Amino acid sequence: MTSNEKKVLVKFREIKEGNTVTMAGTLRVTIGYACDVCKKLCEKGYLERLSPGRFALYKITPLGEEQVKGEGEIEKELTDAVGTGEGDKEEVEEMGEYECTNCGAAVKERDIECPKCGTVFEEGVEEEATEGGTTEGQSDVDKKTEISDQPSVPEDWKTCNWKWK
């Protein structure tokens, strides 16, 4: 980081539509409510992952451009500054977070795709591999019976994240 660049932590809940946030001594008007524009911000490269109560790290260049680092990079910088981090990995695993198999980013258990690289995760693949033995002696009829045990889902519901309990 050059002497002309400044870093500012802005608490996520402060980012609301039309509000102004002072970053590096410069008044900025925010884009929109975070819940409504989260996807757009991620697509434009402003944020890697966005969740309530988290911090966004803004890097202000001499030209006034704003770049936001991903949450993982922020946590690494804060961990380096504070000097902790040994027990953090265990806490993350207890909260149901995993690493993306493609890029290594933190992924929550309920996520269906990686918030960083966009890799789509297949549901149930891991469960099938751990649950149950070989399927060599199992006929195609038995396989179909197992699949059809779940109630059918209307076609228009398949686009949402709703799951059978």
Q: What is the pLDDT of residues 104-139, one digit of tens each?
A: 887 777 777 888 888 887 754 344 334 444 455 555
What is the spatial distance between Cα 18 and Cα 30, in angstroms, rounded to a whole number? 6
Among the residues of 15-139, which ranges form H helices?
Answer: 34-43, 71-82, 88-94, 125-131
Model confidence, pTM: 0.21
Residue 133 falls in which region: left (phi positive, over 0), alpha (psi -120 to 50) or beta: left
Q: What is the pLDDT of residues 55-111, one digit of tens each?
A: 444 444 444 444 444 445 555 555 555 555 444 445 444 456 778 878 888 777 777
Q: In 3D, which of 30, 34, 76 has the Cα closest to residue 52? A: 34
The neighbour count for residue 107, using CB atoms within 10 Å, is 23
